[in-house]
Amino acid sequence: MIVKTAEFICSNTQISKLPPPVKAEYAFIGRSNVGKSSLINMLTAKKGLAKTSQTPGKTQLINHFFINDSWYIVDLPGYGYARASKTNKANWNKFIHNYLDKRESLQCVMVLIDSRLEPQKIDLEFCNWLGEKGLSFVLVFTKADKQSSVKTDQNIAKFKKSLTETFEEFPQYFVTSSELQSGRDEILGFIDNINKSFVIPHFEPRD
Ligand SMILES: Nc1nc2c(ncn2[C@@H]2O[C@H](COP(=O)(O)OP(=O)(O)O)[C@@H](O)[C@H]2O)c(=O)[nH]1
Ligand SMILES: [Mg+2]
């Protein structure tokens, strides 16, 4: 897929104000600082589209970016921000779970995992939650340029081992580096494929 246009549409704090669910939509999510904004900028080839390295854990916004006038990238707030209060974390859970669970046009959740790290409990728990809800997701291992490919593969293997304690099959995954622009064609190709069979879902009109 060639990305011709990528346009910021809106930031929302309320699920009820999201754009109508009539376009295929892909949600990007992961721990704060995992490289989500960098990845979105890399995929769209627009440097400042999603802002990188903002103070994490502050904003709880669902950002919609419209790609090629046909589908959405959705930038979700990062989870696992160490210094967030308990109330903030609980609010995050409610807000994001609500969006993920209810969004009719959501095609796939792109779960970003830092490829430098051993499996993190919070990532595994989030994947398990997605599995319980029957939501389709793929894993995107980020920052692969930061270590050798051997190390990256080892961490992926460990993640696989941990996840297959609860999942029968390991989900599809991508290895990326926003620095080196790697993994871009693979992710865009994956999205393009799903877009081809997208049909507008049934949804309750809002007033
Ligand atoms: N070397 C390297 N650094 C990255 C990569 N992706 C993100 N970063 C850096 O990691 C930090 C957090 O990235 P950001 O995209 O803001 O993460 P977010 O909080 O998940 O949106 C920034 O300093 C980025 O420059 C990558 O693929 N390679
Ligand atoms: Mg960010």
Q: What is the pLDDT of residues 29-64, one digit of tens each?
A: 999 899 999 999 999 999 889 987 655 555 578 999
Q: What is the CATH number of the domain that holds 88?
A: 3.40.50.300
The reply to whether ligand 1 has any atom less than 6 angstroms from the CB of 16 is no
Q: Which residues contact 64 (CB under 8 A, 6 or more apart)?
A: 8, 9, 10, 11, 12, 18, 19, 25, 72, 73, 74
**Do 141 and 173 contact (CB within 8 A), yes or no?**
yes
Q: Does residue 118 lie within any of the structural domains?
A: yes
Q: Does residue 145 lie within any of the structural domains?
A: yes
- Among residues 42, 46, 29, 51, which one has the least CA distance to residue 179? 42
How far, in Å, from the CA of 36 to the mean position of ligand 2?
A: 5
Longest CA–CA span in the chain (Å) reads 53
Q: Does residue 186 lie within any of the structural domains?
A: yes
How far, in Å, from the CA of 56 to the mean position of ligand 2?
A: 7
- CA-CA distance, 142 to 163, in Å (whole number)? 18
**Do 82 and 40 contact (CB within 8 A), yes or no?**
no
**Do 50 and 63 contact (CB within 8 A), yes or no?**
yes
Residue 112 has pLDDT above 90, yes or no: yes
The reply to whether ligand 1 has any atom less than 6 angstroms from the CB of 56 is yes
Q: Indicate the top mutation candidate among 32, 33, 142 to test ligand 1's pocket, ranked by most ligand atoms within 8 A of CB.
A: 33
Q: Does residue 207 lie within any of the structural domains?
A: no
CB atoms within 10 A of CB 14: 8
Q: Indicate the top mutation candidate among 28, 51, 52, 112 to test ligand 1's pocket, ranked by most ligand atoms within 8 A of CB.
A: 52
The answer to pTM > 0.85 is yes
pLDDT for res 58: 57
Identify the three-state secondary structure at position 163: helix
Identify the three-state secondary structure at position 87: helix
The reply to whether ligand 1 has any atom less than 6 angstroms from the CB of 177 is yes
Residue 182 has pLDDT above 60, yes or no: yes
Q: Does residue 204 lie within any of the structural domains?
A: no
How far, in Å, from the CA of 15 to the mean position of ligand 1?
A: 27
Neighbours of ion ligand 2 (CB under 5 A): 36-37
Q: What is the number of structural domains in the chain?
A: 1
Q: Does residue 122 lie within any of the structural domains?
A: yes
- CA-CA distance, 12 to 104, in Å (whole number)? 17
Q: Does residue 31 lie within any of the structural domains?
A: yes
Q: Does residue 61 lie within any of the structural domains?
A: yes
Length in residues, the chain: 207
pLDDT for res 91: 80
**Do 38 and 71 contact (CB within 8 A), yes or no?**
no
Structural domain containing residue 114: 6-195
Residue 109 has pLDDT above 90, yes or no: yes
Q: What is the mean predicted confidence (pLDDT) over 1-19?
A: 94
